[in-house]
Structure 1
Amino acid sequence: MRPTSAPSRLSLALIGGLAAVGLTASPASAAVVPVDLACRATPPIGSAQDLSIGANVDGTAPATVPSGSGFTAKLAPEAMTVPGTVGDYTVKSLSNLKLTVPVPANATLNGASLSGGSGLGSGTPTVATSGSNVVVTVPGPITGGSSFTLPSLSLDLTAGAAGNTVQTRIAGTGYSDPGLTFTAAVKASILTVNVPTACYPSPSPVLTSTAIG
């Protein structure tokens, strides 16, 4: 059997650490929706590795609105923690996090905004519309061993035809169509490996639901 290279061993340890203790969601309350993310990390050397990450999102929106009226759906992720070490390796940072939310069916998107968030590094989070999606970008870097909270995303919507429902979810149907991506930088000795990771919700829960009256 061919010996495992240092970058491959390092990335394997990273995957195990993230799956076990890496991105740990805070305890859920009654209003919080748990989201299970299936993730695939692709190191520069070695094969891709799969893992699961749990996250909690507090979604708020009116239960019912009249057709043609404006309303806001707000998605507030709860606090998470990046490990400082994984085995013998040091987790330096997470960077370039991108969270994608589809524009919900049966509504018109008038705008999107961010609020709050903490521990997100020196980069400024941004939100933009890309096709039929809203994309939140957090440049980071988010230091290993620290806790962070992604900013809350508010969607300014106008309700469509009566009898329909407006639901919000995290995007993603597979590793090639992710709803969350990020890059983890992990150091062993003098070597730093950047490991791109793509995640999608599996299954994909409804975060908010508003009936159109």
Structure 2
Amino acid sequence: MKFTLRAATGVLAAAALAAVFAPPASAAAFDIVYDCQANTPLGAQYLTLNQAVDATAPATVAPGGALDVVVDPGPNQVPSQAAGYNVKEVRSFSLKVPVPSNATLSGVELTGGSGLGPTPPQWSAAGGIVTVTFEGPIAGGATFELPTVTAHLTAGTSGTIASTLYGTSYSDAGLSFTAVVSTFLGNVSAPTSCFPNPNPVLTSTTIG
């Protein structure tokens, strides 16, 4: 996760579909950009972060057919400094991904990943949204890799299954975490809310 800071103080991102009994999947690479706001005692601070992911999807799926939504993020790194302050760690991650229209969710698998802290990532689903969480911490300057996420779907009767990310604003965030930085005030915890900007269509599969 590359943090490109626009001010002081300064991760999953993407989904792909692969049918169980479908034509071979095609692959696409994305560099997802999240627009973030960190709330600190010094006021709101702004940053962007990037996460590279590869996305794959079958071109078609039969009505009622089984699909797998696969997330394959690339390695990334937490910055060691932000606006002249040392980044001690980032923790308490939460990433939301909507279940695509014209499909239902039957389960999620999280595999792989490294450098994410002692507690394995977990997932939950409610209201048509899958949420992946892990506590961390990830130290400033450390490298890490988010887990591969496979969401099992069942196609509807017709239409298109298009996968995207969740979030439209800081108050309707799709990604959140807490950054801890060293400042002249001591260690400052900065709850941070992010949304994908832009929010691309990652994959598109036609039912039929």
TM-score interval (norm. to shorter): 0.7 to 0.9
* Deviation, structure 1 residue 46: 2.6
- Percentage of pairs with the same residue: 44
Q: What amino acid sits opposite 2:72 in the alignment?
A: A
Say whether the 8 Å CA contact 2:8–2:46 is kept in structure 1.
Answer: no
The normalised TM-score by structure 2 is 0.84
User: 2:61, 2:105 → 1: CA distance?
Assistant: 15
Structure 1, unpaired ranges of 5+? 1-11, 16-22, 24-29
Q: Is 1:140 aligned with 2:160?
A: no
The equivalent residue for 1:19 is none
Runs (5+) with no aligned partner, structure 2: 1-6, 12-26
Q: Distance in 2 between matches of 1:49 and 1:145?
A: 20
Q: Give the helix-richer structure, 1 or 2.
A: 1
- Mapped to 1, the partners of 2:173 and 2:156 lie a distance apart of 27
Say yes or no: does 1:36 pair with 2:30. no
**Paired residues, number:** 187
The residue that corresponds to 1:108 in the other structure is: 104
After TM superposition, the structure 1 = structure 2 runs for residues 1-213 of structure 1, keeping only pairs within 5 Å, are 13-15=8-10, 31-43=28-40, 45-86=41-82, 88-162=84-158, 164-188=159-183, 191-213=186-208
Q: Partner letter of residue 191 of structure 1?
A: G
Q: Residue deviations 1:166-203, cap 9 Å, x none?
A: 11111001110111001001123681100011000111
Runs ≥4 residues deviating over 4 A = none
RMSD: 1.7
Which moves more between the two structures, 47-56 or 193-202?
A: 47-56
Give the deviation of 1:88 after TM superposition: 4.2
Distance apart, 1:50 and its partner CA: 2.2
Q: Look at both structures and tell me which one has the larger radius of gyration over its CA atoms.
A: 1
Q: Is the 8 A contact 2:36 2:170 kept in 1?
A: yes
Q: Which amino acid aligns with 1:185?
A: V
Q: Which has the larger strand fraction?
A: 2
